[in-house]
Amino acid sequence: MKKENRSSLPTFEQSAGHYLADTQLRKNIGHATQTIRKKRDDVTGELPDWEELRESGRQIKQQVMNNLDDYLLELEESVTAAGGVVHWAADADEANQIVTQLIREKQETEVVKVKSMTTDEIRLNEALQNAGITALETDLAELIVQLAGDESSHILVPAIHKNRSEIRDLFKEKLNIEHLSDEPADLAEAARLYLRKNFLKAKIGISGGNFAVAETGTVAVVESEGNGRMCTTLPDTLITVLGIEKIIPKWCDLEVFMQLLPRSSTAERMNPYNTFWTGTTDGDSPQEFHLVLLDNGRTKVLADETGRQTLHCIRCSACLNICPVYERTGGHAYHSIYPGPIGAILTPQLRGLDDSSAASLPYASSLCGACYEVCPVKINIPEVLTHLRGNIVEHNKKNGGIRFKMDSTHVGMRLMARAFRSRKRYERLQKIGQTGQKLFEKDGMISKLPGELSKWTDFRDLKPIPKQTFREWWRDRS
Ligand code: SF4
């Protein structure tokens, strides 16, 4: 999928059909998510206190959200005391301006960057490009996406939609390599050689962060390849862009998240590379450290009592890997940096319900609840989904005018609500349905209904209303 203009994005419903029809994509994603799901079950199952860990993670995050203002100030104080500089960004534009200005002050035109969803969210690479600055992605999967001029389709494995031979062809073309196999080791080696020379000459590194400890001012990046460590330690200046929800109160709280995150995300007991830094140290690693703390709609999410738990997310991607909807459509159908179940609740809250593409996402779910069961910090995603669906109806009632009032789904729902409010009406409708359905019933199923009702039977068969309802059966017995 090529990069798109976000001002007129299609809804999930409009996109899903297109991606569902791509059998290669479904095969790539199905294979990857099923493999990681199995591995995740094994490594979480071996911990006797996994459920207690999840509960601790939830409680720590809840405590942070209830006192976010205090923790943010504490973090600023700790980072400053350790020699770093903290910048506050209310939105994407402000964050992009801060980063661009910092790079301009150094008179640099090239930076290395390690995978950061937050910088994807604010479209930092584009903003830098407009300012004449090239940002080279150094995470292998992000590099693949960047070379292809593509968009990420998974939180953790942005190139999950591409298979090995597609990546080999891309590397051969973009990195000018004549002979290359599609063996993972050969592909990784090709990327390593390309990245190494860029690491060695880079004066500025840009990173995201998984956690920021308010007590000490420490920022943490966990990863699998070591490129993040190169990016955060080799350049003279390090700029980290962090959403304000990434705070944890104390150093010892890391113990909980350093167990929850790797097991939930990559199904590893520990990430191969865990990099922690606290401000700057004379003669060692970056001599300048800037921390950009980004709001960009997060305080609005915080103000909503039910939606607030969305900010607990540690971006492990377990909910994507288990989701039957994500598994079939892949990430691009969501038209959001954050795909899958977490994207379905985070994106509409960050972008607002006037954005029709974002507002379609809470419906991209079967509400099976699997995402809630795997979430390492126990975010009740189905609860937030239904809460947002309610908000969308209210929003449309206020702003949708006559078009919304005449919408067939809305009219159908209102009629159903009326029927369910009265036992007599409900039973009368059942009787009408029992008689009317005879025209459409075949072999004990209804496969084709007329008019607006066909929206249901176009995609699934319907069981007919039984000859005797439960209430009738009950009355007969009493
Ligand atoms: S919502 Fe939960 S499962 Fe999904 S990415 Fe966030 S922390 Fe992981």
**Per-residue pLDDT for 62 more than 60?**
yes
Mean pLDDT for 280-285 is 91
The distance from CA 1 to its chain's CA centroid, rounded to whole angstroms, is 17
- CA dist list (Å): 163 to 254, 265, 389: 35, 20, 35
410 confidence band (pLDDT: 50, 70, 90): confident
Look at residue 435 in the predicted model and tell me its pLDDT.
92
Q: Is 316 in the pocket of ligand 1 (CB under 6 A)?
A: yes
Mean pLDDT for 36-42 is 94
* Ligand 1 atom closest to the CA of 381, numbered from 1: 1
Look at residue 1 in the predicted model and tell me its pLDDT.
53
133 confidence band (pLDDT: 50, 70, 90): very high
Q: Which residue has the tokens 């908000």?
A: 391
Mode of pairing for the β-strands spanning 288-294 and 237-243: parallel
Q: Is 314 in the pocket of ligand 1 (CB under 6 A)?
A: yes
174 Cα to the center of ligand 1, angstroms: 34
Whose Cα sits closest to atom 2 in ligand 1?
A: 375
In Å, the largest CA–CA distance within the chain is 87
Mean pLDDT for 338-352 is 97
Mean pLDDT for 355-372 is 96
268 Cα to the center of ligand 1, angstroms: 16
Cα–Cα distance for residue pair 178/164, rounded to 1 Å: 16
314 Cα to the center of ligand 1, angstroms: 6
Q: Is 315 in the pocket of ligand 1 (CB under 6 A)?
A: yes
Q: Is 342 in the pocket of ligand 1 (CB under 6 A)?
A: yes
Q: Which two tokens stand for residue 266?
A: 């990559």
312 Cα to the center of ligand 1, angstroms: 8
Mean pLDDT for the chain? 93
Q: Which residue has the tokens 């968009």?
A: 151
Look at residue 409 in the predicted model and tell me its pLDDT.
81
Mean pLDDT for 298-314 is 97
Q: Is 260 in the pocket of ligand 1 (CB under 6 A)?
A: no
Look at residue 142 in the predicted model and tell me its pLDDT.
87
Q: Is 156 in the pocket of ligand 1 (CB under 6 A)?
A: no
**With the C-alpha atoms ordered 284, 287, 292, 293, is the resulting torsion angle positive or negative?**
positive
383 Cα to the center of ligand 1, angstroms: 14
Whose Cα sits closest to atom 4 in ligand 1?
A: 319
pTM metric for this prediction: 0.88
- Taking 3-state DSSP, the helix, strand and coil percentages for the chain, each rounded to the nearest 5, stand at 55, 10, 30
Cα–Cα distance for residue pair 274/438, rounded to 1 Å: 65
Whose Cα sits closest to atom 3 in ligand 1?
A: 375
Cα–Cα distance for residue pair 71/91, rounded to 1 Å: 20
**Per-residue pLDDT for 178 more than 60?**
yes
414 SS3 class: helix
Phi, psi of 254 (to 5 degrees): -60, -30
* Ligand 1 atom closest to the CA of 155, numbered from 1: 5
402 confidence band (pLDDT: 50, 70, 90): confident
Q: Is 370 in the pocket of ligand 1 (CB under 6 A)?
A: no
Name 201's Cβ contacts closer than 8 Å, sequence gap at least 6.
110
**Per-residue pLDDT for 160 more than 90?**
no
Q: Is 462 left (phi over 0), alpha (psi -120 to 50) or beta?
A: beta
